[in-house]
Amino acid sequence: MVSVSRSAFGELPSAGGAVEKFQLRSDQLRVDVISWGCTITALEVRDRQGKASDVVLGFAELEGYLQKQPYFGAVVGRVANRIAKGTFTLDGKKYQLPINREPNSLHGGLRGFDKVLWTPQVLSNGVRFSRISPDGEEGYPGELKVWVTYTLDGGELMVNYRAQASQATPVNLTNHSYFNLAGQGSPNIYDHEVTIDADTFLPVDETLIPTGDIAPVQGTAFDLRKPVVLGTHLQEFHMDGFDHNFCLKRSKEKHFCARVYHGGSGRVLEVYTTQPGVQFYTGNFLDGTLRGKGGAVYPRHSGFCLETQNWPDAVNQPHFPPVLLRPGEEYDHTTWFKFSVA
């Protein structure tokens, strides 16, 4: 059984509207999602002793989400990840997007899908958010109707993204939750054991744009096909962390993406998706300046993201999976976050 409750979360400044919180509960999970950015603000899951902890980074109040912060828990779009120099050409016309992470456009621009109020609809086992992204929003062509649905089933949170376009536009939607399976506020993720089911990954330039190569993981630091303990692995390969797209099966069917295990608590997160890629990010840009829930500070490497997605800069790289949505087509992708203990 899943229960869904609805409550006020806060008011946006200058009469911008009311933000609501939706609490989804099953026998195994409690998930809080707000209508600002379809943001997951809390996700409680029990450890092997039966003690529940919140395993996502974020804030207790709306003000936290309105400040400059790194997309905690939010849905990002119209195009997640980076577009080189914020520019692309589509059907012979050149588009210039706002540059919000020099020298590129990141996660939909200055005011992406994470920084808008969505319209909620309560379901029996979750909540569906919708909005219409107007033609020209953040420089993107065409009107885009978008639906993001969160549903709960036991220990599994399912996120479905659908979109329809009035004219051809790139679309790439994901959720940017930062997880720490020891519990949010724990100092780092070095004791997490990570597996990613990818034979290839995308090398990047110094601005984190893919070079265009699709490189085998074999014999590199990016071979996560067998579990690695993150801290040891980063030390061994003298790495500052991961912020890379791993290439998954290019099938529209549900496929296994990643597994993360935290030995101390026994918590396991498995991710399944219909997407062709996942950005594995180890919170390299977190710097301890933000105050989170319960007064937690979030230093570097205190959370990880598994952003299921199309490949970064696909709109400029024709040999990457197609990212354009045309009128009459439907964008429809699903990601499953399955929690258990071991």
Q: Residue ranges for the binding site for beta-D-galactose?
A: 81-82, 176-178, 243
Residue (of 148, 192, 201, 187) closest to 332 by Cα position: 148
CA angle (162, 285, 131) in 5-degree steps? 20
Catalytic residue among 233, 270, 307, 333: 307
Q: Distance between CA atoms of 282 and 246, rounded to whole angstroms?
A: 14
For residues 342 and 340, give the distance between their C-alpha atoms in angstroms, rounded to a whole number. Answer: 7
Looking at residue 139, what DSSP letter applies?
G
DSSP H or E stretch at residue 63? helix 62-66
List the catalytic residue out of 176, 233, 244, 262. 176
Which of 213, 177, 191, 196 has its CA nearest to residue 312? Answer: 213
Reply yes or no on whether 176 is catalytic: yes
Maximum distance among all alpha carbons in the chain? 59
The answer to whether the beta carbons of residues 83 and 97 sit under 8 Å apart is yes
Catalytic site includes residue 233: no
CA distance 130 to 54: 26
Measured CA to CA in angstroms, residue 200 lies from 203, 241, 325 at distances of 10, 18, 25
SS3 at position 62: helix
CA within 13 Å, CB half, 119: 7
Chain centroid to CA 111: 16
Q: Helix, strand, or coil here: 160?
A: strand
Q: Which residues are known catalytic residues?
A: 176, 307
